[in-house]
Structure 1
Amino acid sequence: MKRQRAEQSGRDGETRAAFWLKAKGWQILDTRVKTPAGEIDIVAKRGKLVAFVEVKWRKRREELDHAIDQRRLARVAAASEAVAHRYTGEGEDIRVDVILLAPGAFPRHIANAWQP
C-alpha cells in the first residue's frame, strides 16, 4: 500500500511538473519513457532545445535539497542518450533538467543539471 501511494505521488508530481513546463512555454513530447538504462519522467521541447526531465516530489520542501544525486542524474543522462534520436532533429540541442516539487513550494527547475 505504501509503495502504491508513493507511486501515485510521483505520478501526481510529474503531472504538476508537465503543467508547469507548459505554462513556461515548453511542449511536452512524452512522459514516462522507459529505456534499458532507466526511465525519463518528461521529455519537453522549447525552440531548438529538448530537455529530458527528472521530476522529484517530496512531502516536505526541506527534503528537496537531497532529492537528486549524481547517480540518479547519470541514469537519466544514459536513458536520454538512448532515446534522444527519437525526439531531436538536425541542429537541436539536448540537456537533462530536474524539477523539484513539494507542497507549498514553488517548483524548482534546475536547467542543465547533468554535467559529467
Structure 2
Amino acid sequence: MTGGPSRGARGGRAWREGHAAEWIAALWLMLKGYRILGFRLKSRAGEIDILARRGRVLAVVEVKRRKTMQAALAALTPHQTARLVAAAQQVVRGRKALQALEIRLDLVALAPGRFPRHRRGVGA
C-alpha cells in the first residue's frame, strides 16, 4: 500500500475539479459577453464542455485545466478537435435555431493562480 488516496478518490477529485473549471470558464465567457447555451452536451461523436453564443458565433468550448498555463494551452489534440467538430455538427443538426450560426471551436485554458485564457478558433 502506498498510503495515498485511492484511485476512486483521485477520480472523484478530478471530476469535481473538472466541473469547477467548466464553471470558471463559463463565468469568464459571460464576462466577455457570451451567453451560455449548455454544459456537457453529449452526442454520439463526443461531449462538448460548453456551448456558448455571442452574436452570430456559436462557440464550442473545450475547457482544459492543467498545472501550468502552457500545458493547458497545448492540451487540445487534433483527435479531440475532430471529435468536437463532429459533436458540434450533430448538436446543431438537432437544433434549428442554431443552424444559421457560424460554428467556431474555442479553448479556455486554466491553471492555478492564473487568469483564464480564451483562445478563439483553435481548430481552424
TM-score, length basis structure 2: 0.85
Identify which of 50, 53, 56 aligns with 2:58: 50
TM-score, length basis structure 1: 0.90
Partner of residue 76, structure 1: 84
Identify which of 102, 106, 110 aligns with 1:97: 106
TM superposition shift of 1:62? 4.2
Identity of aligned residues (%): 42
**Over aligned residue pairs, what C-alpha RMSD do you find?**
1.4
Partner of residue 33, structure 2: 25
- Name the amino acid aligned to 1:111: R
TM superposition shift of 1:14? 0.2
Which stretches in structure 2 are left out of the alignment for 5+ residues?
Answer: 1-8
Identify which of 55, 60, 64 aligns with 2:68: 60
Identify which of 38, 53, 60 aligns with 2:46: 38
Q: Does 1:114 align with 2:123?
A: yes
How many residues are matched? 114
Partner of residue 98, structure 2: 88
SS at match of 2:118: strand
Which stretches in structure 1 are left out of the alignment for 5+ residues?
Answer: none
Shift >6 Å, 4+ stretches: none
Partner of residue 6, structure 1: 14
Q: 1:42 to 1:65 in 2, by over 3 A?
A: closer
TM superposition shift of 1:94? 1.0
